[in-house]
């Protein structure tokens, strides 16, 4: 996993990014990888967390728009 670049994260669904983020966190918590690998995992985790936040922000916006439209009707 540590040899992946983070450019693929932008194409992930929320569920894909969340599931991989869970794996990254678990691997970091084990503490069994080198410092260099830990840094790569951390960077990957940051990219995955950002992708999840992007999805959630978009979902919140769509929900708020739907609620506002419903109230306007």
- pLDDT, one tens digit per residue, over 22-62 is 999 999 999 999 999 999 999 999 999 999 999 999 999 99
> Which pLDDT tens digit goes with each residue over 59-70?
999 999 999 998
Backbone angles phi, psi at 33, to 5 degrees: -110, 165
Contact between residue 52 and residue 13 where contact means Cβ atoms under 8 Å apart:
no
Mean pLDDT of 6-32: 96
Residue 4 pLDDT > 80: no
**C-alpha separations of 29 from 10, 51, 52 in Å:** 25, 21, 20
- pTM comes to 0.83
């Amino acid at each position: 996993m540590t040899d992946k670049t983070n450019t693929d994260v932008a194409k992930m669904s929320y569920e894909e990014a969340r599931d991989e983020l869970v794996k990254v966190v678990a691997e970091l918590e084990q503490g069994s990888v080198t410092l260099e690998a830990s840094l790569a995992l951390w960077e990957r985790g940051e990219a995955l967390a950002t992708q999840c936040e992007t999805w959630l922000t978009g979902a919140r916006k769509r929900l708020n728009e739907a609620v506002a439209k419903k109230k306007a009707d």
